[in-house]
Chains A and B, each alone.
Chain A
Amino acid sequence: AQSVTQLDSHVSVSEGTPVLLRCNYSSSYSPSLFWYVQHPNKGLQLLLKYTSAATLVKGINGFEAEFKKSETSFHLTKPSAHMSDAAEYFCVVSEGSSNTGKLIFGQGTTLQVKP
């Protein structure tokens, strides 16, 4: 069975400082991994995805994540936080070989960016 654990429910950083949102996953098969962002009153937007190509994945808005199979982790990072990054972030796993594309979401991490 697949699962996702986001290790922090809330992360607070100052504008201009690095961002680290942590995610561990569990999957019996070759997983696909995603990070989605949800701004208030808006839908989910894909930041980046890993689907068994390069382990360091670059996404939109300066975000990137590294797939570490030995640690079953897929942490999201950004070198310098911007006020507009304040939102809810979800780490998501999908069974790569699945025919259904069912996405398993973590509980979410709220990112607060202080001026």
Chain B
Amino acid sequence: ETGVTQSPTHLIKTRGQQVTLRCSSQSGHNTVSWYQQALGQGPQFIFQYYREEENGRGNFPPRFSGLQFPNYSSELNVNALELDDSALYLCASSNTPGGRTEAFFGQGTRLTVV
């Protein structure tokens, strides 16, 4: 088990609503990345936060936004939910933002949009 915790574990929302997912990074880690994993697919990079600033973004619309707090925990916010947003959302923390660093993943939040 990693030290990365995500909440909630499961969530059901209605199309058009807004949702906030939370992630506590592993102790000593200052970087948090978010991924979306649709059923039967590999995870897709949404964005990364490093020292409270967005540090890279994947091919996701602006209604996907995030925050990182001084304690390095993070939130993922999704506005105007669509049915296709139904997925497992994974948070990963690391001790640097670079490409050679091991990322530690949480167990994910399963979001269902109906």
Contacts and interface: CB of A to CB of B under 8 A. Distances in A.
Q: How large is the interface on A (under 10, 10 to 19, 20 to 34, 35 or more residues)?
A: 20 to 34
Contact of B105 (A44, A94, A98, A99): A44
A51 interface: yes
A5 to B, nearest CB: 11
Interface string A38-64: 000111111001010000000000000
Interface stretch (B39-47, B65-73, B74-82): B39-47
B76 to A, nearest CB: 15
B62 to A, nearest CB: 18
Contacts of A107: 41-42
Interface residues of B, number: 31
A13 interface: no
Majority secondary structure of chain B interface residues (helix, strand, loop or mixed): loop
A41 B41 CA distance: 15
A32 B99 contact: yes
Contact of B97 (A90, A101, A106, A108): A101
A53 to B, nearest CB: 10
A22 to B, nearest CB: 15
Interface string B50-63: 00000110100000
Interface string B87-109: 00010101011111111111110
Contact of A44 (B43, B45, B96, B98): B43
**Sorted from nearest, which 5 A-B pairs have the closest CB atoms?**
A100-B56, A105-B42, A98-B99, A44-B105, A94-B99
Interface of A: 32, 34, 36, 41-46, 49, 51, 90, 94-108
10 contacts: A32-B99, A43-B107, A43-B108, A46-B102, A90-B43, A99-B97, A102-B56, A103-B35, A103-B43, A108-B41
